[in-house]
Amino acid sequence: MAATFEDFKFNRQILSAIADAGYTQPTPVQQKAIPPILNGQDVMGIAQTGTGKTAAYVLPILMKLKYAQGNDPRGLIIAPTRELAMQIEENIKAFAVNTDLRVVVVYGGLGPKTQIEQINKGVDIIVATPGRFMDIYLAGHIVTKNLQVLVLDEADKMMDMGFMPQVNRILEVVPRKRQNLLFSATMSDKVHNLSANFLEHPTVIEVTPQATPAATVTQKLYFVPNIKTKINLLKKLLDEDAEIKKLMIFCKTRTSAEDVFRFLSRKYKEEEVRVLHANKGQNTRINSINAFKNDEVKILVATDVAARGIDVADVSHVINFDVPIVIEDYVHRIGRTGRAFNSGEAITFCTPAEVYYIRKAEKLIKQSIEVVDIPADVFIEETPYEERQAQAREIDLQKRRENPEFKGAFHEKKSLTQQRKFEKEKAKRNPRVAAKHSVKRSSKKR
């Protein structure tokens, strides 16, 4: 195993850039992935965010390409979100600073004109989201014949987000003879099937056991009855936990994220909190991420899609305001803290309707999450009727998912009520039916 970056036989330009970036020792994923990638092998890496996986493939790609050449890309990196694509581009620029290699990042959310202009000037590496890459390719602005290496990063997330049709189209338009690298935080059946189609006799590297959270992250679980109590508990934790230096709060939906953001904006100055979700404009999202990275704000509220690929080294705490429905997202969320060997804490709020998903998350990470009692001075609200109904519906749905034969108490009650309503309506229109039903009912009473 390489003890220093010198052991990889990188050239002086790359070694200087690594030193300037403040890296001294390769991480486990870098130690395992860099040699086979430099050797030209296809590689499949199971590695979570925060393990140094971006540098694990970027450094050998830079070493292989060495200097600017021609106009067409020789390296292509596909990522599921614009935030991750921008993060990768940042990494490439930092490590290629002493070379003349050219990198262009392309993603949706803003017009392609500037991106096309940059590509037309000549490019060595393109970092792209799948949809925008295909748009620009089909418009005739990307030539793939000189492509030597193709990377699919966070393949599991690409599948969750429904990008497989675009990924398959990309695989059709790139040269057959190329080096392929695939990275994923989890090894699902879908990822396994993709790797079989995409990789040729790959070297498989697994840094931590599959879907295991970083050992440096302490996990805690609070069972709460409803959303209002979640807010009360959040307030209590923020008021009393002096250890919370930098916090990411994850929500299931944009609406939930906006509600939490509004509450925090009233509690703190608005300058101390930012919210990140798909409805926010591109510039707003970039500004929010940068403000959080640069310690201008202490709290970032985000949905899973928007937060994917944000690499912030010193997040002290993660709070799952909602339990994620895509179970693998639990691993990604808590992986935002405890990065680069720092310790961190991940706290989850769980309502009765979310117990199903937290149990699945525990199964995935192969460990039980420590349950903590709600502090005595947190006001526990009564669950409103609508929320109670929504929870009951969700629990019935979960039981039906596990057992298609299950009808559900909620379901039966609802059916009976509907039936009575239907009979009343029918009786109004047809008096003879009404008389018949009244006779039936009276005979039952006897």
pLDDT surpasses 80 at 271? no
Examine residue 211 and state whether it is found in any structural domain, yes or no. Answer: no
- Give a yes or no: residue 139 inside a domain: yes
Rounded to whole angstroms, how far apart are CA atoms 211 and 366? 9
If one counts the domains in the chain, the total is 3
Residue 348: in which H helix or E strand, if any?
Answer: strand 344-350
- pLDDT tens, position by position, 110-169: 889 999 999 999 999 999 999 999 999 999 999 999 999 999 998 888 887 788 889 889
- pLDDT tens digits, 166-190: 988 999 999 988 999 999 877 777 7
What CATH number is attached to the domain comprising 61? 3.40.50.300
Q: State the pLDDT at residue 180.
A: 94
Query: With 80 as the cut, is the pLDDT of residue 286 above it?
Result: no
Residue 416 and residue 387 share a domain: no
Read off the pLDDT of each residue in 311-330 and give the average, rounded to a whole number. 85
> What's the mean pLDDT in 254-272?
86
Span 303-320, average pLDDT: 77
Q: Are residues 316 and 370 in the same domain?
A: yes
Q: Are residues 341 and 421 in the same domain?
A: no
Containing H/E element for 229? helix 227-240
Question: What does the pLDDT read at residue 276?
Answer: 83
- CA–CA distance, 136 with 71 (Å, rounded to integer): 15
Specify if 396 maps to a domain: yes
Among 151, 181, 206, where does a domain finish? 206
Among the three residues 182, 206, 230, which one is the final residue of a domain in this structure?
206
Domain end marker among 206, 225, 246: 206
Mean pLDDT across the chain: 85
Number of C-beta neighbours around residue 269 at 10 A: 8
Residue 287 or residue 256, greater confidence: 256
* Alpha-carbon span 328 to 189, nearest angstrom: 13
Is the domain of 319 the same as that of 342? yes
Residue-wise pLDDT tens digits, 389-445: 999 999 998 888 888 777 765 544 445 565 666 566 656 666 554 555 554 455 544
How does DSSP assign 177-216, residue by residue? SSEEEEEESS--HHHHHHHHHH-SSPEEEESSSTTPPPTT
405 or 298, higher pLDDT: 298
Question: CA separation (Å) from 344 to 41, 213, 216, 372?
Answer: 35, 11, 6, 17
The pLDDT tens digits of the residues spanning 51-94 come to 788 999 999 999 999 999 999 999 999 999 888 899 899 999 99
Same domain, 202 and 309: no
Do 14 and 162 fall within a single domain?
yes
Measured CA to CA in angstroms, residue 370 lies from 162, 221, 223, 341, 343 at distances of 33, 6, 11, 21, 17
Residue 350 CA, chain-centre distance (Å), reads 19
Claim to verify: residue 132 and residue 226 sit in the same structural domain = no
Note the pTM of the prediction, 2 decimals. 0.60
Same domain, 432 and 321: no
Domain of residue 63, residue span: 5-206
pLDDT digits (tens, 9 = 90+) for 22-54: 888 898 889 999 999 999 999 999 887 667 889
Distance of CA 45 to the CA centre of its chain: 17
Q: How many CB atoms lie within 10 A of CB 250?
A: 29
Please report whether residue 104 resides in a domain. yes
